[in-house]
Each structure stands twice: as structure tokens, then as C-alpha cells.
Amino acid sequence: MTLSIKKKCPNNDCTGDIDIKYQTNTDNIDNINFACTTNTYTKPTVLMCKKCGILFSELIYKFGGNQFEKNYQEIEDTKYLSQIKYKRIYFENFCKKVGNELGDNLSVLEIGSYYGVLGSIIKDKVGKYSGLELSKHGSNFAVKNFNLNIYNETIEEHLIRGIKYDLIIMADVIEHFYDPFKVFNQISSILKKNGKIILTTFNIDSFYCKLTKLNYHWIIPYHLVFFSNKTLEDLGKTNNLSLYKIENDPRYVSVGYLLEKLNLIFPKIGFIFRLINKLKFIKNISIKVNLGDLNIYYFIKDN
């Protein structure tokens, strides 16, 4: 793909010039695996807006928003399903952290509910839980296995329903949106007065991100916009949302899954990770991973 730096900022309200942050070559990217746990580590060029400071993938210019939505609808993430045991450990800890924001009188919408693991934990802690998920496979799994109320539709389609919520949760979702600036405006509009948003994502301005640069393991084809604490705070302000708390968010995975990822990130010594991964008694052990790059962000609607 021939990159023109004359392209505009993906934030339609910004008129800043675009510069290259990290350069690579994605000429051969035609088929992208959009599953959240894909083993594809092809790197897109990362661009930066000189005015607002937002970092984003060049693939925003390659595909239209409808194309991304279409691809997400067809996701069947078997790798994620194999890790559900460990996802549950993570989400149980997540719910403990955000517990003060929950309550049996609250209506909650989880955007990007995927296979329903978080929903299955949170539904008994709130008044009413609903999920919004594009993946048909994920939606069907969540309904069948966890008896969750899932809307298999886009945010724009959901807006037509006119439902208002006390709390909206987005766990590792904001970075997937083709236009997160528009999305934030939309979800702010369906929040009740004093409603809240809780989201998780990686901080592109963290020490580990700066250290690894383009080799950072979450710079991957299906992550489109990369936020820092400041750019997330600015995003909230423009949509009548105040960022009032940031909390570190370590994850839990199996040793086998971690070794698979290390094999992809460090291919030159991949034989070591593959050898260790053959030890069955090790690969299923749960391990906590904390690189200081993942956070929980808490917003409250100003009016």
C-alpha cells in the first residue's frame, strides 16, 4: 500500500497533519484475521496526528467501516474458546475491581460482549444486563451457554431502540473501532444522567509500549486506534464525559497460550518456547501477566 501523509486525521473534528510514527510494509495484507486471539502478527504502519496526538493504523485508510463490521460478523474465535477458563479468572478479578460501580438497580450494556464470559459473571450483580456483539458465533454462544440477552447488531442499529443505560462497559473494544470518536459520542447519548462508562485498553504511551515500539504485541491488524491516557481523557471531554479514575489491569492466561505468543513475538528463539510448551503439566497453568501497559478507565457523564 502506498502511503500518503496527506491523509486526514481519523477524528473528523481534528484538522491536524499526519506523520509516520512507526513504518512497516503492509502491501501484502489482503486477508486479515479479525479474531481477538489470532496468531497473526503482521504489523501495519502506525501514524500520528500532530495536532491531537492520536496514534492509529494505516489500515483505517485501506478498509471502509462497513468492511470491518462485515468481517467481525463472521468471526469464529476457537482460540478464545480454548481460553475461556482463564478469561473467566480475569473477568472475575475485573468485577472485583469495578464492584463499587455495580448495583442491583443498574441497567448495564456491554459493547463487544463476544462470547459472554463477562456477562455471565456480571448479570447477577446488576439490575439488567444486555450485550451488544457483532460476531454471530459469539452472540449465539453467549445466548446458548449463558442465557444472556445479546443484541447481534451495530451500535447505530442499537441506537434506534432508544434504550438508556446507567453503565456501559467496553472490555478491550475501543481499539477495534474504525471511528471510536463517533462511537464515544453515540454511547454518551444513550447514557442516563450521571451514567458511567468503564473501558479497558492498552496505554500506547506506557513505558513498555515506548520500549518495544512497532514490536509492541498489541500493534496488530485488527487494532485500529491506539490511545494514551491523555487522548482518552480528551475523547471523554469532547463528549461530556469526565475521566475520573485509571487503574492497572493485569491479565490471566495459560502458560501454553503465553508461550505461543512469545513464539510469535520472538521467532529467533521460538524453539525454546515450543519445547517448553510440549510439557503438558506446564501449559495449562494459569499465570498473571502485568507489563504495566493495560488499564481500566472510568468515565462519568457530566450532564
203-220 confidence digits (pLDDT tens): 999 999 999 898 888 998
11-47 tens-digit pLDDT: 988 989 999 999 886 555 555 555 555 555 678 899 9
pTM: 0.89
Q: Nearest Cα to 52, choosing from 12, 95, 106?
A: 12
170-215 tens-digit pLDDT: 999 999 998 999 999 999 999 999 999 999 999 999 999 999 898 8
Question: Helix, strand, or coil here: 152?
Answer: coil
d(Cα 123, Cα 125) in Å, to the nearest integer? 6
pLDDT at 37: 57
d(Cα 40, Cα 17) in Å, to the nearest integer? 30
End-to-end CA distance of the chain: 44
**Residue 177 · residue 183 · CB < 8 Å:** yes
**Three cell numbers written together for 34:** 479479525
pLDDT at 31: 57
